[in-house]
Each structure stands twice: as structure tokens, then as C-alpha cells.
Amino acid sequence: MNDRKLNKKEKKVEKVKEKLAKKSKKSRLKIKAKKIRKCKKIEARNY
């Protein structure tokens, strides 16, 4: 395989990794928001 093809593949892998990182960050925030909402609901019930 020549260098050019290798570079293209590496760049693709990097892009995919970045996308995954962004996705996981978003999903983490979503999960956090869900947990906060759940806590608020429970607190509201207690009052």
C-alpha cells in the first residue's frame, strides 16, 4: 500500500474516532440530564 492510501485511511479513522467522542459526550450529557430530571421528580413527590 502506498503512503497516500494509508494517510487517507488514517484520516478516516481519526474522523470516526472524533465522531464517536462527540457522540459519547452528547449521550453522557443526555444521561446526566435524565438523572437530574429523575431526582427532581422524586424530590417533587417527597414534598
pLDDT (tens digit per residue) in 4-42:
777 888 888 888 888 888 888 888 888 888 888 887 887
How open is the CA angle 20-29-42, to the nearest 5 degrees?
A: 145
Is residue 1 over pLDDT 60?
no
In total, the chain counts a number of residues equal to: 47
HSE-up of 38 (CA within 13 Å, CB side)? 6
**The three cell numbers locating residue 4:** 497516500
5 vs 11, 12, 39, CA distance in Å?
Answer: 10, 11, 51
